[in-house]
Structure 1
Amino acid sequence: MEKESAKIILSADSTCDLDTELKERYHVHYFPLHIILDGHDYKDGIDITLEEIFQKYYDEKILPKTAAVNVAEYIDHFEPWVRAGYEVIHINLGSSLSSAYQNCCIAAEELGHVHVIDSCSLSSGTGLLVRDAGEMIRQGMSADAIADVLRQRTEKCHASFILDTLTFLHAGGRCSSVAALGANVLKLKPCIEVNNADGSMKVGKKYRGSLDKVLVKYVKDQLAAHPDIDPSFIFITHSGIAAEYIHLVKEALKAEKDFAEIHVTTACCTISSHCGPNTLGILFETK
């Protein structure tokens, strides 16, 4: 692994959903959100897995609660770097989705030299900005300049997902039992779209049919809706899904556009516990 920047530390909430290869490529320091399950406090992606969360629900109908990083935790995370003379860029889960951003801002104000970015997104929608920051650090840009660019770039990042089932959203209190039952009976698979102005989420198109057919139609619809997509990079992010579906989506992307890099990642426990298994999205930037 190449030597880390001598001046800038790149940090992000664990919800940015980069895989090990991208974390190492850009030297990203994660701070895990909290997963509270059956009275125990776990660190997302460190001492609990997606499989354990889903199995707990199947066995006992228990879903975890998620909790933001608090101010003291962020201070402990950043302080050693600040004391050592680094500038820190930290990219948060969207502020409309979590109090993590506000807590991070308080910590940054106390310490100084920490540049906090509201991603206005979640999962690898946030990861797009983390990757952008890593590239700008490689180019030798200053922390102030990178932070300015990232804050303007949120509106260029597009995140959406297809849900295979509404069962987990219903279990977590995020949709009614009638809506969940109706969608499951009718085999409706809603597209959840992230508003990149504030990070809020809405239900977009509701697809009907088998998952393989829905995913291909979803890919075509998303790419057609954004004719100015940056072809250098795109994420396929999922919450645990069969390899055949990932291959199907890859082929659908290749058929529509010549992407230089199609990167597959698995969503963290915080994201996946809300959407359930077999959720898949494509996440990209426009020019």
Structure 2
Amino acid sequence: MSNVAIVTDSNSGITQAAGKELGIYVLPMPFMIDEETYFEDIDLTQEQFYEKLASGANIATSQPSPESVMNLWDKVLEEHDELVHIPMSSGLSGSCQSAMILAQEYDGRVQVVNNQRISVTQRQSCLDAKLLAAKGKSAGEIREFLEEDRFNSSIYIMLDTLYYLKKGGRITPAAAAIGTMLRLKPVLQIQGEKLDAFAKARTTNQGKAIMMTAIRNDIENRFGGMTEDKHIWLQVAHTANREEAELYKKEILERFPGYDVHVDALSLSVACHIGPGALAFACCRKIQV
């Protein structure tokens, strides 16, 4: 019986198939679409989600049920002594707080990490947790490490449309109309718990440049600078925009030569609020074990 298992949810961008390859258990996030429940990467693919979004379907995110969470934990604990559960940021969903309450029933065998990450940065936390477990860290030690490391990451997201922010009531119809008329492409940021406005771009190229400058500034001012050992992970994420994401990766490598750049789809929980065509640029500081 191996000691510590790593569990996350599909907001990490880790698919069921990738989870099996990585040795990470993935809890599928539920969605309510026109009053019917679907589960990400189980009976709802990325393609199906965007088809339903484009059709005008009523889509709402939901927390995993207590039963689904505990059933997965119980199954994992049949083969492991402890587990570390890494959900999406507590500032973006109540699923983290719910998991913390459920974990109280497990006498310390389940450690829920509140390190305020999502998508590609959440994925990196899972990989870091695997590394820490391989080094012999306990579930409690891994949770403490990841929570202390929570602010060593950044995400910037450029939207292609304001329609879905307006639809979700996150901006006023007037602001959306003005932004659409001016063809603005807002750049948002995730720092800690919140998704906030960061900048406004007039063109896609300007937006991509803004994100690259922001990441470089974070590396220089928060993460120890651009060092020879390339101690930063770089990530690109997108919503139904893979071709543009791969092109952006090439542009990033011109400005960040020698760095590893991982490309992945943004989680559907984020996509339903910002719509297709979005691009994101993220970074995480590599952990020192």
What's the counterpart of residue 236 of structure 1? 236
Structure 1 unmatched ranges of 5 or more: none
Which residue of the other structure, out of 207, 219, 244, is the alignment partner of 2:212? 219
For residue 204 of structure 1, what is the amino acid of its counterpart? F
8 Å CA contact 1:136–1:146 kept in 2: the answer is yes
**Structure 1 residue 174, shift from structure 2 partner:** 1.9
Deviation by residue 1:248-271 (Cα, 9 ceiling, x = unmatched)? 321222122234421111123222
Measured against aligned partners, the alpha-carbon deviations of 1:153-186 in whole angstroms (never above 9, x if no partner) come to 1111212211111111212222211121211211
* Cα separation, 2, equivalents of 1:174 and 1:277: 17
Question: d(CA) in 1 for partners of 2:16 and 2:64?
Answer: 21
- Aligned partner letter, 1:280: L
Question: Quick one: distance in 2 between partners of 1:85 and 1:16?
Answer: 22
2:248 is matched with 249
For residues 150-189 of structure 1, the aligned pairs below 5 Å read: 150-189=146-185
Is 1:280 equivalent to 2:279 in the alignment? yes
Look up the match of 2:63: 68
Structure 2 SS opposite 1:226: helix
Cα distance in 2 between the residues matched to 1:21 and 1:219: 31
Structure 2 distance, partners of 1:85, 1:20, is 19
| TM-superposition CA deviations, 1:199-235 (whole Å, max 9, x none) | 21110011112x2442234223322343136645221
Contact 1:220-1:256 within 8 A present in 2 as well: no
Aligned partner of 1:195: which letter? Q
Which deviations, in whole Å up to 9, do the C-alpha atoms of 1:95-141 show, x marking residues without a partner? 12111111111111112300100131222221221121122123232
Distance 1:187 1:16 in 2: 31
Q: Which letter maps to 2:54?
A: Y
1:111 aligns with one of 106, 113, 117: 106
2:95 and 2:232 map into 1 onto residues whose CA distance is: 30
CA distance, structure 2, for counterparts of residue 162 and residue 132 of structure 1? 27
In the aligned structure 2, how far is the partner of 1:202 from the partner of 1:260?
27
Q: CA deviation at 1:62?
A: 2.4
Larger CA deviation: 158-167 vs 118-127:
118-127
| Structure 2 partner of 1:128 | 124
How much identity, in percent, do the aligned residues show? 21
Q: Which runs of 4+ in 1 moved over 4 A?
A: 19-22
1:143 corresponds to 2:142? no
Letter in 1 for 2:50: F
For residues 259 and 231 of structure 1, what CA distance do their matches in structure 2 show? 11
Matched, 1:41 2:29: no
Question: Within 2, Cα distance between the matches of 1:180 and 1:49?
Answer: 29
Matches for 1:84-99 after TM superposition, within 5 Å: 84-99=79-94
TM (norm. structure 1) is 0.88
Q: What is the one-letter code of the residue matched to 2:135?
A: Q
CA distance in 2: counterparts of 1:85 and 1:221, whole angstroms? 41
Secondary structure of 2:277 counterpart = coil
Cα pair 2:7 2:84 within 8 Å, conserved: yes
Which ranges of structure 2 fall in alignment gaps of 5 or more residues? none
Pair 1:255–1:238, CA change in 2 (3 A): same
Aligned length: 278
Two-structure CA RMSD over aligned residues (Å): 2.1
Distance 2:265 2:255 in 1: 23
